[in-house]
Amino acid sequence: MVCLKHPDREAVAVCAACRKPVCGECLQNIDGANYCSEECYRRGTASKARADGVIRRGKKSDALLRRRILIWFIILLLLAGSGWFIYSKNQKKIDRKLRNVAKTVKKGAGKAINAGKGAMPQDSKYKREREAMVDQQ
């Protein structure tokens, strides 16, 4: 492996940011790491900071989502619990009401069916005419 800028020189390290081989002369030791240039160091740390920020933000929103789900779960649990509590306290009343509703629905459905039957032509003029024609033949 030779230096990228000096093809006649053997590289002594690779840049920590861009992984390019660098010779002893090109080598820049910054913050205890080897870089091909100061510019590369700045770019490297900037992108690393960006990546860290993204990871941190992701973790933060994850925690937020988890907390939101937990809150909704608790709300649902409370709703279900209070609903069950009210139902068990007024079970007889609610059951009677439900039965009444069912009865009313059944009555209404029966009425609707009867009304439908009444509206249907039981003996149409067309049918009578056809029958008369058959009789004549």
Hey, what's the torsion of the CAs at 45, 49, 51, 55, to 10 degrees?
150
In the complex, minimum distance from the CB of residue 49 to Zn ion, in angstroms, rounded to a whole number: 17
Instruction: List, in order, residues 6 or more apart from 86 with CB less than 8 Å away.
Output: none
Contacts with Zn ion: how many residues (CB under 5 A)?
10
Handedness of CA 54, 55, 56, 57 (dihedral sign): positive
Q: Which is nearer to Zn ion, 13 or 23 (CB)?
A: 23
Q: Which is nearer to Zn ion, 47 or 91 (CB)?
A: 47
Q: Which of residues 88-117 bind Zn ion (CB under 5 A)?
A: none
Name the 3-class secondary structure at 24. Answer: coil
The answer to whether residue 43 forms part of the interface with Zn ion (CB under 5 A) is: no
Q: Which of residues 11-40 bind Zn ion (CB under 5 A)?
A: 15, 17-18, 23, 26, 36, 40
Cα–Cα distance for residue pair 94/47, rounded to 1 Å = 64
Kindly list the residues in this chain that would bind Zn ion in the complex (CB under 5 A).
3, 5-6, 15, 17-18, 23, 26, 36, 40
